[in-house]
Structure 1
Amino acid sequence: MADRLRLVFAGTPDFAVPCLQACLRSDGDVVAVYTQPDRPSGRGRQLAASPVKRAAAAAGIPVLQPETLRDPEAQARLAALRPDLLVVVAYGLILPRKVLALPRLGCWNVHASLLPRWRGAAPIQRALLAGDRETGVGLMQMEAGLDTGPVLLERRTPIAADDTGGSLHDRLAALGAELLAAGLARLGAGPALVATAQPEDGVTYAHKLDKAEARLDWQRPAIELERTVRAFDPWPVAEAEIGGERLRIWSAQARPGRADAVPGQVLAAAADGLDIACGEGTLRILDVQRAGGRRITVRDYLNARPELKSAASPPA
């Protein structure tokens, strides 16, 4: 009987947890889990363990949390684990060439896009912002470049008109775990995995999200603002100035516009939505959140701000 594969897993956020669980269910032995150091969280700024650390602790797997993997001591500690394969999912730390070369079978990465489109930190949100109709996950053999390695397996999924950053995150996390499980199974029983080089055409980069991007600019087309609202749910959540008040915008729909409307103008305020004129089209806002409050429907919001109903501008 062949020896069981020695797996080391590296990941940090919720997205990586299903993949860790896939490793734990596989025929390999997860000998250690790497995750980022505990970070301050919440209003009290208390140190909090990452979701991957909590999942590993619950499974009784040793957890290592180096600040960097560039340190020779950290590299020696990883080498001492004698990994056959290092599985990396949203780890958040750069893997130097020496680390990539340590495992006998190299390093795998589960990435939430159809490579080479949306290499980088925020592929889920960038796909939504761009209006992509399809996305997916790829199982990639890692190399020194940023998400440039050859792809071993891939799964696709359509992007629905009502998908948000949260819904797409959860679907791709589950799909990524299925893909990783399939890859690990094929390591032991075949057919052999074939690494396919990424095409040179179609490369785009999913840059890290900036909170400033979540501020809605009424000069922009309504469809772009709708995508922003969807992409930034649940973080960092879109924001906009409406009737002199800054609100978080949780749900909105792009609608046809009015030729006489000025961007930012309140066109209608009723129980079914708050219509704001945009550079092109109208954005109907459905769910909002006031400072210090909770998410509420526009119906409830207008009960607190009835003056917006009288301020709405009917068609000329």
Structure 2
Amino acid sequence: MKKELRIIYMGTPDFAVAPLELLIKEGWNIVAVITALDKPQGRGRKPKSSPVKLTAEKHNIPILQPPNLKNGEFLETLKSFQADLQVVVAFRMLPEAVWSMPPKGTFNLHASLLPDYRGAAPINWVLINGESKTGVTTFFLQQEIDTGNVLFQEEELILPEDNAGSLHDKLMQKGAKLVLKTVEAIALDNVNPKRQDPAKALHHAPKIYRENCEINWNQAASEIHNLIRGLSPYPAAWCKIGSKTCKIYGSTVVEKESDLDPGEYATDNQTYLYFQTGKGMLAVHELQLEGKKRMAISDFLRGNPLSIRDGNSGGTA
């Protein structure tokens, strides 16, 4: 059964590697991998392969990197692999000519409990919004993005200490197992796809842009803390300290008040840096000042003492 079912796998980033590795390990027949074009990176602008491409190369799987998914030559090449099933994990929107091609369909893995948090950045937004649980979903692709009939779902609790990095890794592993479960069920014709309930599409998860990452100190400390954890380690929440941009990677809410204005800070220039917010104070534990390395707050203050006003007022961020 495993060798008879011909699978094409589509994906690009690290999140898509674990499901591909698990399918290969379990002996499923991956006849080709489709991934993004190599991107120039670094000072030398040398082309860099995607994590999925590197994985496919390691296992000697044929690789396709089409600039245009609607190109006739690409579609003919895709058809020549005679795939029974296509699996999509963190790739890009597919034209109908691609997702409708295999007889057993094309399914996608999404890092949320669909239909909630449809969009490009569900891991970030569940944390930014302070959710206590999320999960992974497999679903058959159809015309509108993230709206297809659901195959399987698995929940994942969000811990207070989770950030985007740790939640990404947990959902990647849980998602890999769900992809394997879905492939096994489809191979046995043992699936019962269910329509998504539009009433449960409560939140959106659009792509994160730089303006989404700027800290608004007028918000409550708890909201800012969730923004920081939802964007850590990448792309990172940021603010200004003096004239320089500062990325913040770790924080906690401090149960104390001050007479500082939102955005002003208190520090002993040794062990702590507290920012006043619209409600409560926020302790910063890890940050990166423009032009400097990422570091713990004690190391940062030792090398970058902050100016402090006299009396009870703090510096201004």
TM-score range, shorter chain: over 0.9
RMSD: 2.0
Q: Output aligned runs, 1:86-125, within 5 Å.
A: 86-92=86-92, 94-125=93-124
Deviation of 1:35 after TM superposition, in Å, equals 0.2
Change (3 A) 1:307 1:12: closer
Partner of 2:25: 25
The answer (yes or no) to whether the contact 1:4–1:27 under 8 Å persists in 2 is no
Q: Partners in 1 of 2:170 and 2:109 — Cα distance?
A: 14
Partner of 2:57: 57
Deviation of 1:6 after TM superposition, in Å, equals 0.2
Deviates more, 1:261-270 or 1:160-169: 261-270
The answer (yes or no) to whether the contact 1:269–1:312 under 8 Å persists in 2 is no
Q: Which stretches in structure 2 are left out of the alignment for 5+ residues?
A: none
Q: Which amino acid aligns with 1:36?
A: A
Change (3 A) 1:311 1:210: farther
SS in 2 for 1:301: helix
Q: Which amino acid aligns with 1:48?
A: K
Partner of 1:67: 67
Q: Deviations over 1:214-260 (max 9, x none)?
A: 22121222112111111111211121223554322111112235263
Partner of 1:131: 130
Q: Deviations over 1:280-302 (max 9, x none)?
A: 21111111112232221211222
Q: Which amino acid aligns with 1:250?
A: Y
Q: Partners in 1 of 2:243 and 2:98 — Cα distance?
A: 53
Q: Partners in 1 of 2:2 and 2:44 — Cα distance?
A: 50
Identical aligned residues as a percent? 34
Change (3 A) 1:146 1:219: same
Q: Deviations over 1:44-97 (max 9, x none)?
A: 3221100000000011001000012112221121111111000000112x2111
Partner of 2:208: 209
Deviation of 1:274 after TM superposition, in Å, equals 0.6
Q: Deviations over 1:119-176 (max 9, x none)?
A: 1110100111111110000111111111001111111111111111111111101110
Partner of 1:148: 147
Q: Output aligned runs, 1:77-92, within 5 Å.
A: 77-92=77-92
Q: Partners in 1 of 2:97 and 2:188 — Cα distance?
A: 29
Change (3 A) 1:273 1:73: same
Normalization by structure 1: what TM-score? 0.92
Q: Which amino acid aligns with 1:194?
A: N
SS in 2 for 1:152: strand
* Structure 1 outlier segments of 4+, above 6 Å: none
Q: Partners in 2 of 1:160 and 1:109 — Cα distance?
A: 26
Q: Partners in 1 of 2:266 and 2:278 — Cα distance?
A: 13
The answer (yes or no) to whether the contact 1:249–1:287 under 8 Å persists in 2 is yes
The answer (yes or no) to whether the contact 1:116–1:202 under 8 Å persists in 2 is yes
The answer (yes or no) to whether the contact 1:269–1:308 under 8 Å persists in 2 is no
Q: Which amino acid aligns with 2:57?
A: A
SS in 1 for 2:136: strand
Normalization by structure 2: what TM-score? 0.92
